[in-house]
Structure 1
Amino acid sequence: MKLRYTLSAVLAALLGNTAQAAPFSLDYIGQNIVASGTVFNGTTVGGLSGIDYDSANGRYLAISDDRSALNPARYYDLSLNLAQFNKNSAPGAAGVTFNGVTNILTPSGSTFATNTVDPESMRLHNGSLFWTNEGQRATAGFQNPTVREMNLNGSYVRDFAVPTYYNPSGSVSALNAGDTGIRNNLAFESLTFSNDGKTLYTATENSLAQDDALPASVLNGSESRVLAFDSVTGNAVGEYVYTTDAVVDVPNPITNFATNGLVELLNIPGLSDSFIAVERSFSAGIPGTGNNIRLYLTSLSNASNLIGVDDLDNAPAYTSMTKELLLDLSTLTNSDGSALALDNIEAITWGETFNGNPTLILASDNNFSATQFTQFLGFEVKAVPLPAAFPLFGTVLLGLGANGLRRKRRKMA
């Protein structure tokens, strides 16, 4: 699968943006799959919900969303050999090597107790690791979502100042009048930095309870919040709305579980305020894995900053982030022409050089399920030839289209 935009379309999309834009293509290299149940250094490998590339060491760092249930909360150091990736339906795992594992520690220096944390995304910046804890809204208890900095040895550095209206309050369902805060398992799944490193972004997978009557379904998308922090002070400085798609496939039966959400963001070097957004849709009971993964180009350049607005119903008319489809992974095929089976893709990073070009790497969270798998996908990123003055990522594509003005609306009773 190859995706390419014309330069004229890009320039039209970037009218008024001071950055120059270079279009690029994504060429599918192949995959590797690590079987569920794989053990490394006494830990069960799985739940890889965030990945980042350490270019200084040529390795990847991947955070596991194990809630200290199987093993203490942790992240892995691993290497990928993209020459071992292939387009076979049974690609093997020869291109994936786990090098180390590090426990994530509490502020007091201990490992997290069972079900007291839910790590989801992680980025390396200035020698520190920044990570999100999704929090919880369940009968077992409510936990506030957090964004934290830690040292490479897993020790705690600091918390970022998440606004209090993200904290879960009210009923477990998040569907009752007066409920506020995150929905269970639909909170801080993503993390990325601005290109200059001054701003850190996270986002909720779906809306806060007070913002939408319902989470995403086959009938509707959801208004996720993208939350921006000053990376030095740790204070929240911006909030923007990203509207997800509706669930792609109708579950079978229709009462089965289904969801779609914003599961990761990745900054686009050379283009400020713009990201690749990963949306993951899942529907139970349908043929195949039930997963649909789509990559979108999204920008907050013209989006309304709603910082401090605790309920979108209380906001004036506002403009959401733009989004334009970059790649629908359901179009990818194996070497024999069969459809690529996709697992629960939740992680994305720019990767190592391959054939002289940068790469984009995706990874899946297997939910520690015997019926799922830890999947790594590789894409070669190629720039359409431009004058030599433009480095490959000096400027990058932004999708066409302006997002319409969104207005506050009455929630369902």
Structure 2
Amino acid sequence: MKWLLALLLAGSAHAQTLNYIGQQIVPTSASFRGLPVGGLSSIDYVPATGRYLAISDDRSDRGPARFYELALDLAKFRRSASPGDAGVSWVNMTTMLDLDGQPFGRNKVDPESLRLDSRRNLIYWSNEGQRSSAGFQNPTVRRMTLDGKPAGEFPVPGYYMPSGSAGGLAAGDMGVYNNLAFESIAITPDGKTLWTMSENGLAQDSLPTAVGRGSRARMLSFDLDSGKAAAEYVYEVGPVPFPPARPGDFATNGVPDMLALSSHEFIVIERAYAVGAITPGIAALTKQPTSNTIKLYLIDTRGATDVSGWTSIKGRDVVPVKRTMLLDLSSLKNDDGSVLAVDNIEGITFGPMFEGKRTLILASDNNFNPAQFTQFIALSIDGTLP
């Protein structure tokens, strides 16, 4: 069965249709070069090779901080609840080095996103940092060469740096919340600007998401020629859409990645997660202990308030970026009519042409959890995106 979604991109006169091509699933038991494959928190297509780069958010725990090169054969993707992984092949693995040129020590880094800049032959990547009783680490955005060697760091404004209590909820606390910082990297098509976003708001700006409550995340840009921080906007993350099975259990919603369509338009992933929640597609999973809701949004920064340099936005008059939902992945169905069960989708990229149409590729982070899996979902695009 062919699934179609007609959508109108805000600010564009082009009517779009997304077609569900299929998926592939790699079990968490998979390994490559002696290390477990998993934690894929972003994916980026490389047209010159027809392959992909994907970063692992392994904190140098199961192996060194690393990114993979892999190939996806979209002709082998299937609209099936158990498609197998015949279309996925692992090509290479590269160790990422710290600013001293050494492999990162255990729990010294949390890699979350990467994008290749083919113009400059560099990879940009984000490190989420840490805010917990185990210690504080600042979120960072860095450059590296294609062989993983350090090539510099962007100057993240000081108000992103965690300070105060470990929970971030006490009076006077500043900076990112734990595990809710920089999970995204996007490069505008003109190659001039890099964007990242905090997954939720900063401690001095807004509370984290919850059932019935959103959060005011910040989009932060850098000029790629000068390396300096530039425009900064507010993105309103939606509330957690489904409650956990038991009150008080973990639930969150946040932005794990985004894809630049132009200098001002982006596709953003919102990934919600609630322990034991009954969501569309959950019945298709056999061992999944938690439930995910994945939505794609189109955002437009035109007309939004530039909050660059604002230590706090709390209580201030701010116009956020425009946000329009494009797709709820729970609407997708397999050939047998079952709802597509989505895992922890954290990566998005344009893919190759497939049957004459451009594609979007999504990838999941399995958290190295045996009850989860590495999932690749392919969508084809009818029409022309901005």
Pairs within 5 Å for 1:356-371: 356-371=356-371
User: In structure 1, what is the equivalent of residue 223 of structure 2?
Assistant: 230
- Structure 2 counterpart of 1:313, one-letter code: K
Q: How much does 1:52 deviate?
A: 0.3
Q: State the Cα deviation string for residues 111-157 of structure 1 (Å, max 9, x = none).
A: 00000000001000122100000000011110000000100000000
- 1:272 & 1:32 partners in 2: Cα distance? 32
- 1:283 & 1:318 partners in 2: Cα distance? 30
Tell whether 2:341 aligns with 1:341: yes
Normalising by structure 2, we get a TM-score of 0.94
User: In structure 2, what is the equivalent of residue 381 of structure 1?
Assistant: 381
- 2:183 & 2:112 partners in 1: Cα distance? 5
- 2:155 & 2:228 partners in 1: Cα distance? 5
- Structure 2 counterpart of 1:345, one-letter code: I
Tell whether 2:6 aligns with 1:46: no
User: In structure 2, what is the equivalent of residue 3 of structure 1?
Assistant: 5
Q: State the Cα deviation string for residues 83-102 of structure 1 (Å, max 9, x = none).
A: 00001111000000000000
User: In structure 2, what is the equivalent of residue 22 of structure 1?
Assistant: 14
Tell whether 2:153 aligns with 1:159: yes
Q: How much does 1:336 deviate?
A: 1.1
Q: State the Cα deviation string for residues 238-283 of structure 1 (Å, max 9, x = none).
A: 1100001100101110111000011111011xx4300001000001
Aligned counterpart in structure 2 of residue 246 of structure 1, from 236, 239, 248: 239
- Structure 1 counterpart of 2:274, one-letter code: S
- Structure 2 counterpart of 1:197, one-letter code: G
Pairs within 5 Å for 1:144-183: 144-183=138-177
SS of the residue corresponding to residue 206 of structure 1 reads strand
Tell whether 2:288 aligns with 1:286: no
Pairs within 5 Å for 1:6-405: 13-14=10-11, 21-125=13-117, 126=119, 127-212=121-206, 214-268=207-261, 271-287=262-278, 288=282, 289-313=290-314, 315=316, 317-383=317-383, 392-393=384-385, 396=386
User: In structure 2, what is the equivalent of residue 407 of structure 1?
Assistant: none
Aligned pair count reads 372
SS of the residue corresponding to residue 18 of structure 2 reads strand
- Structure 2 counterpart of 1:53, one-letter code: Y
- 2:346 & 2:277 partners in 1: Cα distance? 20
- Structure 2 counterpart of 1:339, one-letter code: V
Deviates more, 1:94-103 or 1:280-289: 280-289
SS of the residue corresponding to residue 306 of structure 2 reads coil
Q: How much does 1:286 deviate?
A: 2.3
Residues 343, 375 of structure 2: 8 Å contact kept:
yes
Q: How much does 1:313 deviate?
A: 2.1
- 2:338 & 2:246 partners in 1: Cα distance? 26
Q: How much does 1:379 deviate?
A: 0.4
Normalising by structure 1, we get a TM-score of 0.88
- 1:37 & 1:131 partners in 2: Cα distance? 26
Runs of 5+ unmatched residues, structure 2: 283-289
Q: How much does 1:21 deviate?
A: 4.1
- Structure 2 counterpart of 1:107, one-letter code: L
- Structure 1 counterpart of 2:111, one-letter code: P
Deviates more, 1:352-361 or 1:283-292: 283-292
- Structure 2 counterpart of 1:263, one-letter code: P
- 2:31 & 2:320 partners in 1: Cα distance? 43
Q: How much does 1:195 deviate?
A: 1.8
Q: State the Cα deviation string for residues 274-309 of structure 1 (Å, max 9, x = none).
A: 000100000102242410000000011111100000
SS of the residue corresponding to residue 52 of structure 1 reads strand
Residues 61, 106 of structure 2: 8 Å contact kept:
yes
SS of the residue corresponding to residue 117 of structure 1 reads coil
Residues 198, 217 of structure 2: 8 Å contact kept:
yes
- Structure 1 counterpart of 2:84, one-letter code: G
- Structure 2 counterpart of 1:382, one-letter code: D
- 2:318 & 2:238 partners in 1: Cα distance? 19
Residues 7, 326 of structure 2: 8 Å contact kept:
no
Q: How much does 1:382 deviate?
A: 1.1
- 2:314 & 2:249 partners in 1: Cα distance? 30
Runs of 5+ unmatched residues, structure 1: 15-19, 384-391, 397-413
